Amino acid sequence: MLAKRIIPCLDIKDGQTVKGVNFENLRSAGNPVELACRYAEQGADELVFLDITATVENRKTLVGLVREVAKVLDIPFTVGGGISQIADVEALLEAGADKISINSSAVKNPNLINDLAKRFGNQCVVLAIDTNFFENAWWVYVQGGRHRTERLLFDWVKEGEARGAGEILLTSMRHDGTKGGFACMLTAQVGELVHLPVIASGGAGKVQDFIDVFGAGKADAALAASVFHFGEITIPALKNELKRAGIGCRHTILG
């Protein structure tokens, strides 16, 4: 089995880390720089920073805060929120990001995927997809989960790969923040459609959930927020349990 990745996620609103349930009822989860430093020290494989209100508020990602977070990291760093053109990506990469995540802007202008992949390379472009089940189908949602589009998830996943995305960050809105487990069946279905790494997001509540998403879910990486932010699961303990289950992670645990 290939090495898997554990990825804490910083959802940012008004310069602070927040977390909710099903994309609603947000509560403060701490200082993003302090959390980033903690996760890097604990052995996280990567870190994701999502400015979750940038698109809704029609503004750019908080580049200054990205720069401060990047200073305390020595692991791959993905940034998303409010990215709609090449200049936005150039600013974020200059600030210390390694990869960028696009969501609403890619749905609005799919050619953005092509343009960014051509300019920065496929490995730099993460296509983030928020999805929910409605009327017997999985649909793509944008604007921080506020708006259901006319795009079906499985069609969009395949189109994203064809246009040059290097990874898929898949968030099941109905699982997000519930701590009831990842959408393993859905994650596996997406993985079977593309030849790209799939990052599972939404639903982590216990160690077994990670074991399940790497097994039945066939995920390449698992992203989580609240269980890490509030100390319910620590990354070293999680990686030790994954190792016992025969699942290796990219970064080994020291000590």
Residue 74 is a catalytic residue: no
- State the burial class of residue 106 (Cβ atoms within 10 Å of its Cβ: 0-12, 13-18, 19+): buried
Of the candidates 88, 130, 176, 209, the residue annotated as catalytic is 130
Alpha carbons 140 and 138: distance in angstroms, whole number: 7
**Nearest CA among 51, 56, 123 for reference residue 88:** 51
Q: Tell how strand 167-172 and strand 198-201 pair up.
A: parallel
The string of DSSP letters for 187-247 reads HHHHHHH-SS-EEEES---SHHHHHHHHHTT--SEEEESHHHHTTSS-HHHHHHHHHHTT-
Alpha helices in the chain (DSSP H): 32-42, 63-71, 86-94, 104-108, 111-120, 153-163, 184-193, 207-215, 226-229, 235-244
Instruction: Name the phi and psi angles at 27, rounded to 5.
Output: -135, 155
Annotation marks residue 98 as catalytic: no
Q: Which residue in the list 11, 51, 176, 220 is annotated as catalytic?
A: 11
At residue 30, the 3 state secondary structure works out as: strand
User: Kind of pairing, strands 5-13 and 16-21?
Assistant: antiparallel
List C-alpha distances in Å: 226 to 53, 126, 128, 152: 18, 22, 19, 28
Query: Is residue 207 within 8 Å of residue 165, measured between CB atoms?
Result: no
Catalytic residue numbers, as ranges? 11, 130
